[in-house]
Structure 1
């Protein structure tokens, strides 16, 4: 087991954190919203929205919009920012609560009886699915909470989870845009989903949905999810069918991506280049079980460190997307920490390889922790502390593992959300001895326990 020098670890950790900070900064609403605003309408401008970034998006609109406007957006607890003309409501994520239910009901009411002269500006980012939990008739908030919790622990992809959610909702799957008819609807999207599919960002409240109730039922059966009888009835009867492509109520609805995972990864790549490290973006839409992705990334990193192939060192492997965790133990889950723990175990202390994985919204799973970092001495420090890494992984307890080592990354609310950020920094064996030269090349906030 190789134990890296502390200065090497600090230098690598500093560079990795600066890459994460750059990724988050690139997706800030104040940077990406102004250029995407529509022309002033002849009638009213109504602003609505949902997601972890929606309050910051609303503030960016207010700062740029000189005419009259009013509206309501709902964001996660702790993610509100001051606005003067747009009401900000906070609600629960990832399992919905009554505050989100009431906000969704009020939002739907606010867009009734609009005219062709009015414009609805809809601000959508990741997290909106849980923050707009308005159920169809026959389904209760408690039903939605049970389904959400089951989906989160099932191992289903974000696309599969949102397919189910769309067909149980009175506001998602294009229904919000349909309620705005005949007004113009302009949706600005900050993407947190693999492939930037607008139907999956907050479950697509303002875009047409090509999937069906039958698709949702197939997903439920595939993952063995036990649904309440009322929920099964909505799907089996077809009463949960969403708004389909070609629906005339969506003829004046348009959607625009203003920030994406790719933009965030490119910003991180620029930081790496400035530090003399070659970046490689492996993909912005990587999915799969987090522990499996971790093993694959570790194998690639070991090959590069040992043989300068397929990438010459020093380099950093950047990726995004949304992996999944099938929770079987009694740990707290968290896809980024599960990825990192599996990666560290597969690396087996290989010298010169460091990593950081975090959710760009500052919350990995249901924890107020963005992610964590690993170094060549991660396993050795765990064993010295009496922690068995393999047991932590089997228990889905990545958060407990990294907190015990003081290697959690805590950002606080980032006010944006462009999905997961993963970086494996491969210095090579010789470069590992001089990694401290990367330190001090820009501002950084050290990870907190």
Structure 2
């Protein structure tokens, strides 16, 4: 936990602050810091002697491809797979679409296309791999002996299990013919440069989109342990495949990675720092609580409510006016029948824990513009959220128990709708204490 450097500007504009506008502006600045059109060009490698083949996967893949085309000095070709609604116009790189968060037949076809694009290359060729969050579902090639239906069943079970993103990816890698370094293996002996936009706590390249160009330190045994821990109900073929452990993923030290370079070009911390800069420009002191906060969404909300109360009552860990900034990816263990996502569940948990605390406002949203399966980025909490909910006949506690936070904030008109942002550096949460 640290105060963002730079202090608060002399003669800030706190008295003129409109909290909703401030929070929306802060969120927009955080998203803008991860815009591929600005993030990609500084990290492009030198053109090779041979061919340049672009492959990509993830929610930002199409805009990353667009940025490559605008700035690449020589010939290139390739194909990328992105989420429905995240397409961008390109001329030389083909853009395919697939389903997210649950893969479909196009996800399997897209993974096959990417593997085919890198086959048969030589040491003078370059594979430019564009990787961003969501790639695990968008390129879902079942391992031999498994079907896409098997992978979809596992994916659904994982999404409802409460497992963290790195735990989910451990299981996914060991059911895949694409993830966990297998794309890099298919591209050898060509040089591979992967440009990564991180959406995971800690920015581990092995976890971003399940690490298609990164050696995999996890194992079949680890995947089986997670299956048992979360009591996942798996198809028989999947369980047999994990127990057999016939073909491990490429591991650290494998020679195929000697000509592979993974470059992180955008990450949650950079977006939080941009949000902090915006806050200072408005006369609000930012306090960064970390870019990798994990845990049950509602429980993280409860903890953040306690910190906000401490600010108001004791001026600790920083005096008001201030904004508490955090990132990362919380989880939701689904127990009810409602509609929601991790950001709106965090916010409803926060609102319930605050109990109408004066002068505390908050925003939380996914930087890709989609909170879970809902077409909203997140929502805003105000000091009168619970009062307005009661007036509208909404029971905040019951709706939290039912995982029904999406409907709660829609009913209040407090959802944050951005549309697809065409990037993804995980969630941004900001709690404003005045």
TM-score, normalising length from structure 2? 0.96
SS of 2:348's equivalent in the other structure is helix
Tell me which residue corresponds to 1:19: 26
Q: Which runs of 4+ in 1 moved over 2 A?
A: none
Note the 1:298-317 alignment, pairs <5 A.
298-317=305-324
* C-alpha distance in structure 2 between counterparts of 1:73 and 1:11, whole Å: 41
* C-alpha distance in structure 1 between counterparts of 2:375 and 2:394, whole Å: 23
Tell me which residue corresponds to 1:325: 332
1:128-187 CA deviation, whole Å, 9 max, x = no partner?
A: 000010011111011111111110010000000001001110010000000000000000
* C-alpha distance in structure 2 between counterparts of 1:239 and 1:198, whole Å: 25
Note the 1:29-428 alignment, pairs <5 A.
29-427=36-434
1:357-403 CA deviation, whole Å, 9 max, x = no partner?
A: 00000111111111000000000000011100000100001101000
Contact 2:355–2:386 under 8 Å retained in 1: yes
SS of 1:284's equivalent in the other structure is coil
* C-alpha distance in structure 2 between counterparts of 1:289 and 1:234, whole Å: 30
* C-alpha distance in structure 1 between counterparts of 2:247 and 2:411, whole Å: 45
1:66-105 CA deviation, whole Å, 9 max, x = no partner?
A: 2100000000000000000000001000000111110111
1:28-87 CA deviation, whole Å, 9 max, x = no partner?
A: 001110010010100000000100001000000000012100000000000000000000
* C-alpha distance in structure 2 between counterparts of 1:137 and 1:213, whole Å: 15
How far apart are residue 332 of structure 1 and its match? Answer: 2.0
Contact 1:100–1:133 under 8 Å retained in 2: yes
SS of 1:286's equivalent in the other structure is coil
* C-alpha distance in structure 1 between counterparts of 2:227 and 2:415, whole Å: 34
| Structure 2 unaligned regions, length at least 5 | 1-14
SS of 2:283's equivalent in the other structure is coil
| Structure 1 unaligned regions, length at least 5 | 1-7, 428-449
SS of 1:283's equivalent in the other structure is coil
TM-score, normalising length from structure 1? 0.92
Tell me which residue corresponds to 1:436: none
How far apart are residue 9 of structure 1 and its match? Answer: 12
Contact 2:322–2:432 under 8 Å retained in 1: yes
CA RMSD of aligned residues (A): 1.1
How far apart are residue 127 of structure 1 and its match? Answer: 0.2
* C-alpha distance in structure 1 between counterparts of 2:88 and 2:339, whole Å: 29
Aligned length: 420
How far apart are residue 270 of structure 1 and its match? Answer: 0.8
1:247-267 CA deviation, whole Å, 9 max, x = no partner?
A: 111211110100000000011
- Between stretches 22-31 and 243-252, larger displacement belongs to 243-252
